[in-house]
Chains A and B, each alone.
Chain A
């Protein structure tokens, strides 16, 4: 990893963290625990396709840890479980999707994020009934995920070739 690449990763982490912090200030869209736009995922999807899995993982983990540090740690384990599930689903998608299909990556990773988050909540609270929330989280997550994926897709197509790392 050269200095330029490291700087670019740091920049993306800062952008992801900023988006994350700003989004945390928006009042809940619906009274459903865990439901949010997930705008910070734009950066993860972009990093996965533009930089590769290793850099994407570093950016994701840094954002989750720093996010917990800045926004209060109460949701750290949910973010971590969701983020890692999201990452694991994105890994094979890198080979399965074209650069014009990042919206699919956004939607599928959003599903994975919700499943990981609810799974962690069930583990922590030991209340299997929380699984009912997936019925609300998934449809909304697919739509917001497709949107954030599309945002990453536009970003990738506009920055493609202009970036010499």
Chain B
């Protein structure tokens, strides 16, 4: 009897599923997502091996924030800048606190000159106006977590931003290139992800936002859906970057910006 009752209940699992989620359909939006994915080239096998991990589709969306961290790290190719920074930091440590402060100012100025962005030197200590593809709901954005660091290797050009991984903090990156989001193996971020504010040498922090689909991102980004993250509680309070404390904090935890230096020096 007992078992019969359970069997009866389990036997109606399809009906229960439909009853629990009556609106869950493989809708035209999802079908269009399939068509869109089919338009994108398949990742090459070699690219899969190198660990970019982009074969996993973007169940979690990737948010890329271009942080004007020139005052923390120098511009230039990945690696060389980091080494330079480390050497300078060592010199600073040996010269004492005042020298550190002076040197930091020098670095700021050098960065501003090298990038032509005089605003960097005058940037507030707490960053604002960082941009991301904020096309997911605010509650999703609030779950953002830091995934990795990237260095821009060229100016924004036609919506494609050449980048190089500096350090991945969290496993594989979502996105598979099939969604015109991230082009694996070519070192490019594709799509209308970043707007205008990215220059060579900028450091990018990659955020993961759970459960925003690539098709959502693409569609909304195509409509110009760009969210601005502020230092306080912008876009669902997804991110707070505080250069005083050297932290970038999302609802899922805090990220120490001082790791930037180590990441740059110890580039994988």
> Are A and B bound to each other?
no
